Amino acid sequence: MLEIGTKAPSFELPDQNGDMHTLEEYRGKKVILYFYPRDNTPGCTKQACGFGELYPQIMEKNAIVVGISKDSVASHKRFEEKYNLPFTILADPELTAIQAYDVWKEKTNYGKTSMGVVRTTYLIDEEGTIVQALGKVKTATNPAEMLEKL
49 is catalytic: no
Whole-number Å distance between alpha carbons of 132 and 32? 9
Query: Which of these, 146, 76, 149, 134, lies nearest to 103 by C-alpha position?
Result: 134
**β 104-109/112-117 pair status:** antiparallel
Whole-number Å distance between alpha carbons of 102 and 118? 9
In the three-class reduction of DSSP (H, G, I as helix; E, B as strand; rest coil), residue 120 is classed as strand
Give residue 94's region: left, alpha or beta (phi > 0; psi -120 to 50). Answer: alpha
**Which one of the listed residues 8, 13, 44, 89 is annotated catalytic?**
44
**Catalytic center residues:** 44
